Structure 1
Amino acid sequence: MELFQLSRKSMADFLLSLKGEGELSPKQILQQAWAAAHAKKGISTEAFLDTKMPAIFEKLLRADLQNIGFSINEIVALGNQIEFTQLSSTAVQNWVKRDVKNLIGSPQIGKKYSVDQAAMLFIVEDLKATLDFDSIRKILDLLFNDLDDRSDDLIEPIPFYSAYAAIFEKAHHHNILGENMHDGIERCIKQEALQTLDSFQDFTDQQKDIVSNILVTASLTVLSAYYKSLTKKYVTATLFLNG
């Protein structure tokens, strides 16, 4: 049975819809993501019946959006629906208790974490592909300020997550014919990061540099995670077929 996974951009849109923001409902986001993934195969009832709908999606579609929060296990379950992502409850528990404790803060919805806190943990997971926790804390501290007041952030967690997810998707499909692969991808990511800044509030030149550089960093780490995941697939296939 086929798994139902989301791109990072679709997950960002889904998280935004869970906050009651954006133009589409959570269900519509999932419908669009599924339809896009099956555009070439044809959209039919039979195709959907052959897709395993994750329990976390079913639960969130029934949730009260006015009071939505996540346990660690729910964050892990949701995060593992993102393409080439592997989260564990033990790891995330360590992050919130130690590694990025001051960045994430305490649960904000009773004993559960908010949608923004979940997004920040997904960002940490992406950055962890190439950065140590000290570096992660330092660069994210430049973006996110008061844990209880997102209005003073340089950029909020979900828009930031959405921005570098979109940049990754464009770079991933960038046509690099006729130019050095590495230079071509880097140039594409830098250009997209600068263009992305146009959609946000006015920044000072220093703030533009900060946000742009961290968008580039995050996009490159996702690209790294993609190649790491692809490598593991080939290793697993080789060992399974020839072991």
Structure 2
Amino acid sequence: MEAFTLSRIEMSGLLLSLSPHSEQRPLHILQEAWTKFHRDEVREGTSLPAFLSTDIPPILQKLIKGGAVKGLSLGEIASLGSLIEYSTLSVTAMQNWVKRDFKEYLGSPREGKKYSINQAAMLFIIDDLKAALDFESIRQLFRVLFLVPERDDDDLVEPAQLYHGYAELFEEIKTRAPMAAQAAAKPPSGNPKEFQWKSDSGIRAAMERMMKRLSHLTRPQRDAVQNMLLIAAISVQTCYFQAMARQYFNAVLFLDF
């Protein structure tokens, strides 16, 4: 069976579509994600056999049928996480994060016995950041962005929006040279350091789109979010290189005959 794979921009869009106020339907996002890899079959009228050979996990079956999703279990979040390209998310890891490592930020389930969309997004964010940062460093970033852990109304940006923001940024980075996202810090001038994107209009535009949605923040707060987007996008790039290294390693062992 062929695996159903989602990019981070597709997964972040899927999470946002589960909001009751979203105008986008989860089914539409899933249809576009699947069609991206099966354009020939769709064009030739053989999409049905191709879809029947695709492994559809129960959580996606529920979304395809249009079932309401008010919250997600850890198992469902892990199932979604397994669909994300370059991801290594597991139920065991999430249980440790929820109960110990990031308990103050994740807390208990907020949708009955299930976790909210923002909690799911935060789990995906932790999984991405751990490719480049240790847990204490991630907690320090969370303290800057989410302020008082027990409250949601003081967050500089909702986790689901943050996830979508750096997923969008990574999509731009993917289409450019690996070092295109390098940034140079301005010399200390009494103000918080600002990152200047090198000449790449696409990456800069992706960043600016996110910043426009956060126009209510102060300049230091906007800088904090912008720096977080940069860190997260580069961490995802690290996930990609790690996945490629594992793939080549497995190929070397498998083809040794």
TM-score by length of 1: 0.88
Which residue is equivalent to 1:168? 170
1:118 to 117, 120, 144: 120
2:242 aligned with 1:228: yes
Which residue is equivalent to 2:181? 185
Q: Structure 2 unaligned runs (5+)?
A: 183-197
2:105 to 93, 96, 103: 103
2:205 aligned with 1:199: no
1:211 to 222, 225, 237: 225
Which residue is equivalent to 1:157? 159
Q: Structure 1 unaligned runs (5+)?
A: none
Structure 2 residue matching 1:5: 3-state secondary structure: coil
1:76 to 75, 78, 81: 78
Q: Do the aligned residues in 2 keep the contact of 1:4 with 1:52 (CA within 8 Å)?
A: yes
Which residue is equivalent to 2:4? 4
Structure 1 residue matching 2:255: 3-state secondary structure: helix
The Cα shift of 1:190 comes to 6.8
Q: Do the aligned residues in 1 keep the contact of 2:104 with 2:150 (CA within 8 Å)?
A: no
2:50 to 47, 52, 73: 47
The Cα shift of 1:70 comes to 1.8
Quickly say closer, same or farther: Cα 1:213–1:72, change in 2 above 3 A: same
Q: What is the aligned residue count?
A: 236
* 1-structure distance, mates of 2:16, 2:91: 23
Structure 2 residue matching 1:21: 3-state secondary structure: coil
The Cα shift of 1:221 comes to 0.1
The Cα shift of 1:63 comes to 6.8
TM-score by length of 2: 0.84
**Which structure has the greater CA radius of gyration?**
2
Which residue is equivalent to 2:133? 131
Which residue is equivalent to 2:35? 35
The Cα shift of 1:199 comes to 3.2
* 2-structure distance, mates of 1:28, 1:63: 11
Q: Do the aligned residues in 2 keep the contact of 1:194 with 1:212 (CA within 8 Å)?
A: no
* 2-structure distance, mates of 1:190, 1:211: 15
Quickly say closer, same or farther: Cα 1:35–1:63, change in 2 above 3 A: closer
The Cα shift of 1:62 comes to 4.5
* Identity across the alignment (%): 42
Structure 2 residue matching 1:152: 3-state secondary structure: coil
Q: Root-mean-square deviation (CA), in Å?
A: 2.2
Structure number with higher helix proportion: 1
Quickly say closer, same or farther: Cα 1:229–1:41, change in 2 above 3 A: farther
The Cα shift of 1:147 comes to 5.7
* 1-structure distance, mates of 2:113, 2:253: 43
